[in-house]
Structure 1
Amino acid sequence: MASAAQYRGLLQVRARFFSLLPQAAAGVRNKTTVQFATRPDLPKLAYRKLKGKSPGVVFLPGFASNMSGQKAEALEEFCKSLGHSYLRFDYSGCGASEGRMEDYNIGAWKKDVLFVLDKLVEGPQILVGSSMGGWLMLLAALARPEKIAALVGIATAADHFVTAFNTLPVEARKEIEERGSWSFPSRHSEEGSYTLSLDFLKEAENHCVLQSPIPVSCPLRLIHGLQDDDVPWHVSMQVAERVISPDVDVILRKQGRHRMSEKEDIKLMVYTIDDLIDKLTTLG
């Protein structure tokens, strides 16, 4: 139990941090050091870890993204300001981790998240998943419920690749199946598109969560932009409907786009996590 004086001090720390936004979102001044986790017969995982109290926060990037984005860095600064532990990392084949991205899939990246939860962090964690990371956080919560304190999804892309493929015209799907790969345009790619193998799509089907109730019972917060041209905001509504947890909030931003990396978007993300930490932590 915290004393009234300690609680006032905590509020002052938070006020100072929020007054620094968006500067904190622009980059962490004293970054944690990149470390590498060695795993038998698996690529080394690059990560940055900040030690601190529970609950910890773990950031899960989106597809073809890495741990150096604005949201990930702002979260590190926020956790540092409160003294909470924080970890961000790159999936196999992404960022500073070993491997080629095209050699991995949803199942492999799920294993990366579970390795982080099993080996690199201690105590209950708040998982913050961006886009595909929101899908992976749900899979991790299903596999390791005892390690999850709460979930925060940013433009959660649950089942996204499978849903997008299945909504293509029959002729287009047949062409992709004959070719063995699917190239789709994306403003987030330097080449203007991403290519997924048919094997990637078939494997992803094994990890879909939206066809039935999702037995996740922890607090869940879902933030989505109404201007998201990549993952429709109604996906977050589907997730909210299907999880069994009674403690679910969906926050829609009228001008929000997919990456949710504008200054006000990052403020909302941090406020949401701050509120969850308050909820999960007993304060006198």
Structure 2
Amino acid sequence: MASTVFRSHCKALLNGRTFSLVQRVADGARCKTTIQYANRPDLPSLAYRKLKGKSPGVVFLPGFASTMSGQKAEALEEFCKSLGHSYLRFDYTGCGASEGQMEDSNIGLWKKDVLYVLDELVEGPQILVGSSMGGWLMLLAALARPEKVAALVGISTAADHFVTAFNTLPIEARKEVEERGSWAFPTRYNSEGSYTLSLAFLREAEQHCVLASPIPVTCPVRLIHGLQDEDVSWHVSMQVAERVLSSDVDVVLRKGGRHRLSERADIKLIVYTIDDLIDKLTTLG
């Protein structure tokens, strides 16, 4: 049964090593790995930054239209470097430094990006940290590669988000989108105030929805969500917690947290959560 956790992570606070590292991360300390490119035979090349280290490794999955250069992604690299654990962050096809066009991409293609990372770019079990849409993709990856996924950490997990948002539109608005063949999906994160999603993108996304039935993921799952998230309701994380078959599930709700969860205190919590999972997995191993 999933448990909802409102706690201060006392273990981590008492851990001097962890506290010191988190202070450095939150205060803006950054390390910079070299950007690399994975040339794939049938797909655009994938840009990534990789830090070698101990197992379990950590892989960061950005949100929609986000890149591997975000605050959370860089903070986690510093943290993993300090602990000596491997870490990989990357840009999806059509995003950031990776090849391809955003408008030609879809959930299925980005899922292939994640699976390529797990199959070809990392070694050993990984903790997948998915932000927003990355939380949806981490679930799809865990279903496809359970032997390679040691644990999941969802940050404002946006499982099924585009499909759910479309289906909640008034029927007249949905008909207009279907007739036009595209949807101006509202956002506060670009100057235009919207992203253009094609009807084909939405139809393809329907093939990857996970919330309608039990999710056969059995690894440890940690879900962090802000109660002030205006983009993806915290109820989605609760749905994920209820659907996954794992018995080791925690949901942490931040009263003042917004969608990006990139404030100093948010990053501390994310780091504490990953550190706790590393300790748990190392002990079990």
Please indicate, yes or no, whether the TM-score normalized by the shorter chain is above 0.5: yes
The CA deviation string for residues 168-201 of structure 1, in whole angstroms up to 9 with x for no partner, is 0000000000000000221112322111000000
Whole-angstrom distance in 2 between the partners of 1:15 and 1:104: 40
Match of 2:66 in 1: 65
Which residue identity does 2:75 align to in structure 1? A
Match of 1:116 in 2: 117
For 1:111-260, what aligned pairs fall within 5 Å after superposition? 111-260=112-261
Of 11, 15, 29, the residue aligned with 2:19 is 15
Q: Superposition RMSD on alpha carbons, in Å?
A: 1.3
Match of 1:4 in 2: none
The CA deviation string for residues 109-153 of structure 1, in whole angstroms up to 9 with x for no partner, is 000000000000000000000000000000000000000000000
Structure with larger RCO (C-alpha < 8 A, sep 6+): 2
Which residue identity does 2:180 align to in structure 1? R
CA apart distance, 1:18: 2.1
CA apart distance, 1:20: 1.8
CA apart distance, 1:41: 2.1
Match of 1:7 in 2: none
The CA deviation string for residues 59-104 of structure 1, in whole angstroms up to 9 with x for no partner, is 0000000000000000000000000000000000000000111110
Contact 1:155 1:259 in 2 (8 A): yes
CA apart distance, 1:44: 0.5
How many matched pairs?
271
Whole-angstrom distance in 1 between the partners of 2:85 and 2:121: 15
Q: TM-score, normalised by structure 2?
A: 0.93
Aligned pair 1:42/2:46, yes or no? Answer: no
The CA deviation string for residues 8-61 of structure 1, in whole angstroms up to 9 with x for no partner, is xxx5543321232412xx351x30000000000210000000000000000000
Whole-angstrom distance in 2 between the partners of 1:253 and 1:181: 34
- Show structure 1 runs of 4+ deviating over 3 A: none
Q: TM-score, normalised by structure 1?
A: 0.93
Unaligned runs of 5+ in 1: 1-10
Which residue identity does 1:14 align to in structure 2? T
Whole-angstrom distance in 1 between the partners of 2:186 and 2:34: 35
Which residue identity does 1:22 align to in structure 2? A
Identity %: 80
Match of 1:282 in 2: 283
CA apart distance, 1:273: 0.4
Match of 1:94 in 2: 95
Match of 1:82 in 2: 83
